[in-house]
């Protein structure tokens, strides 16, 4: 089978790596991909941006692609699945209506409230005066979110009222996130340990993948601004088997059933970002795609053929599948460019990749055989171990082998639960 993977990050390199292990895959394409996908076995990078829906559609038709797998959220929200399905092409991911679970936080809240899914109390606003009056009434700390897609930067945890006022002005007056900030969600701040559960669903059956824990802040000890994720590990001790079952029964299945009741058969990945507080798991947010960097530490533990699972989702036969896991822990450490998540330089040569073990590329490019830095999050270094401590040691041993000018990484990934 010919498979097209859409996206350019570490998640997409991990997908190419895992799908390439299927005996049914004859050729992989990645759009636009990175140096890692370009160097992967039987994979070819093609020059289409992830949001070039019409260009990707024509490529898939001309090259008789058997399955397209969408990595990032934006093309899903923009209706790539609808376009491909109208053309009779098989594609993995939710359609535009269902992808609103990530494309509109107000939409996701409405579904959760209607179907009794535990989440933070929240109000939505389209006028800054009303939003500010509510914030003043509630007091700090408080969380403010831009309603639409904002590349992971549209959320602020405001510990002082002054921070809340400044963020509201940034979103609603300065239009920092464009149309994504025309509506804001103001919600109570939840406290506890966060966890990520990525679940396969065909709109009826829900199969949760092994839970993971992400580390979003740039600084050690979870300090500084949020990023796309500086590392993750799986499984996580903050979720035992009983808690996983509770998440399945109280959050994942009700959400899929609620969407179906609203006329949306949700197919693909339903990603629940959770807060584990004293009252049990509550939803921080839903996403409509695989997490990054969680995918990079979940897929190395998955023993199943990923292609077979994805085909079962598209064919609504997921009830025939059972997941099998490597019992070891897997840790992923992100190596970023100096200055990330702010401005950063590109073009630095990367050395030591051949000496390291499993590395998923993110912001990289290839020039005359040399791998170069080409993004903020550059590499995902991945290690396995019989204990979380072993996984941490093994991963950081490989991190030490890789070098590029200005390389930055957190040295405490996985440490918070040790």
Residue 123, strand partner residues: 186
Q: Tell me, what CATH number does 226's domain have?
A: 3.30.470.20
Query: Has residue 133 been placed in a domain?
Result: yes
Does 305 share its domain with 338? no
Cα–Cα distances (Å) from 409 to 11, 54, 121, 133, in that order, read 18, 37, 35, 40
| Packing angle, helices 306-314 and 10-19, rounded to 10 | 100
* Residue 86 CB contacts under 8 Å (≥ 6 apart), including other chains: none
Our CA angle for 192, 194, 198, nearest 5°, is: 150
Which pLDDT value is given to residue 153?
79
Query: Looking at the 3D structure of the chain, how many domains does it have?
Result: 4
- Which tokens sit at 192? 């506890």
Kindly report the pTM of this predicted structure: 0.96
> If you ran DSSP here, which 8-state letter would residue 300 be given?
G
Give the separation between CA 219 and CA 207, rounded to whole angstroms: 34
Is there a contact between 196 and 294 (Cβ–Cβ < 8 Å)?
yes
Picking from 294, 320, 346, the residue at the C-terminal end of a domain is: 320
Which pLDDT value is given to residue 278?
84
Q: Tell me, what CATH number does 333's domain have?
A: 3.90.600.10
Which pLDDT value is given to residue 285?
96
Cα–Cα distances (Å) from 178 to 214, 302, 312, 377, in that order, read 27, 39, 38, 24
Does 198 share its domain with 309? yes
Question: pLDDT per residue over 215-231, tens digit each?
Answer: 999 999 999 888 999 99
Query: Has residue 115 been placed in a domain?
Result: no
Does 219 share its domain with 159? no
Which pLDDT value is given to residue 418?
82
Give the separation between CA 175 and CA 183, rounded to whole angstroms: 11
Low-confidence ranges of the chain (pLDDT < 70): none
Give the separation between CA 36 and CA 44, rounded to whole angstroms: 11
* Residue 367 CB contacts under 8 Å (≥ 6 apart), including other chains: none
Query: Has residue 109 been placed in a domain?
Result: no
Cα–Cα distances (Å) from 368 to 365, 371, 372, 377, in that order, read 10, 9, 10, 22
Torsion of CA 14, 16, 18, 19, to 10 degrees: 150
Which pLDDT value is given to residue 4?
98
Does 258 share its domain with 169? no
Residue 260, SS3? helix
Alpha carbon of residue 129 to chain centroid: 33
End-to-end CA distance of the chain: 43
Give the separation between CA 321 and CA 324, rounded to whole angstroms: 10
Give the separation between CA 117 and CA 138, rounded to whole angstroms: 23
Which pLDDT value is given to residue 332?
98
Residue 104: closest CA among 286, 290, 289? 286
Query: Has residue 101 been placed in a domain?
Result: no
Residue 328: closest CA among 274, 393, 410? 393
Alpha-carbon torsion 377, 380, 381, 383, what sign? positive
Which pLDDT value is given to residue 226?
84
Does 132 share its domain with 155? yes
Does 315 share its domain with 335? no
Q: Which residues of 37-74 are buried (b: 16+ CB within 10 A; e: fewer)?
A: bbbbeebebeebebebbeebbebbeeeebbbbbbbbbb
Burial of 221 (0-12, 13-18, 19+ CB in 10 A): exposed
Mean pLDDT for all residues in the chain: 96
Tell the residue number behind the tokens 């995902």, with chain if given: 380
Does 210 share its domain with 167? no
Find the domain containing 297 and state its range: 193-320
- Count other Cβ atoms within 10 Å, centred on residue 145: 26
Which pLDDT value is given to residue 22?
98
Is there a contact between 375 and 337 (Cβ–Cβ < 8 Å)?
yes
Query: Has residue 117 been placed in a domain?
Result: no
Question: pLDDT per residue over 59-118, tens digit each?
Answer: 999 999 999 999 999 999 999 999 999 999 999 999 999 999 999 999 999 999 999 999
Q: Tell me, what CATH number does 147's domain have?
A: 3.30.1490.20
Query: Has residue 107 been placed in a domain?
Result: no
- Count other Cβ atoms within 10 Å, centred on residue 328: 18
Query: Has residue 168 been placed in a domain?
Result: yes
Does 202 share its domain with 308? yes
């Amino acid at each position: 089978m010919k498979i097209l993977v859409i996206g350019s990050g570490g998640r997409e390199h991990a997908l190419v790596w895992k799908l390439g292990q299927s005996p049914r895959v004859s050729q992989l394409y990645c759009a636009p991909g990175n140096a890692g996908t370009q160097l992967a076995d039987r994979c070819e990078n093609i020059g289409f941006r992830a949001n070039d829906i019409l260009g990707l559609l024509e490529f898939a038709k001309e090259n008789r692609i058997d399955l397209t797998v969408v990595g990032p959220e934006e093309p899903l929200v923009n209706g790539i699945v609808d376009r491909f399905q109208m053309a009779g092409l098989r594609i993995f991911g939710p359609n535009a209506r269902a992808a609103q679970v990530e494309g509109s936080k107000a939409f996701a809240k409405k579904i959760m409230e209607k179907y009794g899914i535990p989440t933070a109390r929240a109000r939505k606003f389209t006028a800054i005066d009303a939003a500010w009056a509510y914030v003043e009434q509630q007091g700090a700390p408080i969380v403010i979110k831009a309603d639409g897609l904002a590349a992971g930067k549209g959320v602020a945890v405001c510990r002082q009222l002054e921070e809340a006022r400044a963020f509201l002005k940034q979103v609603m007056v300065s239009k920092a996130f464009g149309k994504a900030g025309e509506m804001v969600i103001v919600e109570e701040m939840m406290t506890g340990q966060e966890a990520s559960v990525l679940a396969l669903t065909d709109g009826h059956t829900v199969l949760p993948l092994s839970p993971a824990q992400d580390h979003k802040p740039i600084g050690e000890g979870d300090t500084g601004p949020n990023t796309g994720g500086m590392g993750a590990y799986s499984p996580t001790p903050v979720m035992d088997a009983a808690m996983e079952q509770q998440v399945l029964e109280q959050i994942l299945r009700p959400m899929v059933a609620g969407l179906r009741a609203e006329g949306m058969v949700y197919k693909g990945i339903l990603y629940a970002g959770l807060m584990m507080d004293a009252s049990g798991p509550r939803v921080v947010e839903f996403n409509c795609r695989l997490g990054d960097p969680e995918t990079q530490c979940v897929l190395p533990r998955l023993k199943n053929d990923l292609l077979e699972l994805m085909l079962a989702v598209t064919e609504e036969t997921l009830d025939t599948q059972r997941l099998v896991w490597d019992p070891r822990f897997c840790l992923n450490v992100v190596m970023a460019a100096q200055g990330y998540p702010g401005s950063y330089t590109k073009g630095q040569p990367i050395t030591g990749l051949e000496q390291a073990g499993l590395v998923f590329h993110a912001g990289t490019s290839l020039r005359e055989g040399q791998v170069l830095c080409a993004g903020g999050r550059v590499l995902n270094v991945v290690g396995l171990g019989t204990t979380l401590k072993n996984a941490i040691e093994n991963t950081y041993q490989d991190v030490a082998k890789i070098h590029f000018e200005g390389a930055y990484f957190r040295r405490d990934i996985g440490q918070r639960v040790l």
